[in-house]
Amino acid sequence: MKTTFTETDGRLVIAVEGELDTDTCAQFQQDIAPFMDRKNLAVELDFSKLEYISSKALRVLISFQQAVFLNGGSLKITNVNDTVHEIFNLTGLSSSFLTE
């Protein structure tokens, strides 16, 4: 798993590449931790190169989303492949995270 951060004008794009699973989830959580308390931050998670996401990683995303919202920001996930999209559908999280 590799994460790339691009921030401009209060908008943060986090591109995630590879697999976001039990083994890589802790690193991802560390990577995003500095942004959890930022005020009014618009976050876009670009999943165009994400191949898989685990239930543990989904819990990390839910916590991240809650922290961002509590600080007046927004979070959306874009560029999701069919496999990852199906995981969001099966867990009922599509409407909470995904943009069409």
For residue range 14-50, list pLDDT tens digits in order.
999 999 999 999 999 999 999 999 999 999 999 999 9
Q: Looking at residue 57, what is its pLDDT?
A: 94
Residue whose entry in the numeric block shows the structure tokens 């790339």? 4
CATH number of 2-97: 3.30.750.24
The structural domains of the chain, with segments of one domain joined by +, span: 2-97
pTM score: 0.90
DSSP state of 33: G
pLDDT tens-digit map of 56-100: 999 999 999 999 999 999 999 999 999 999 998 898 888 887 765
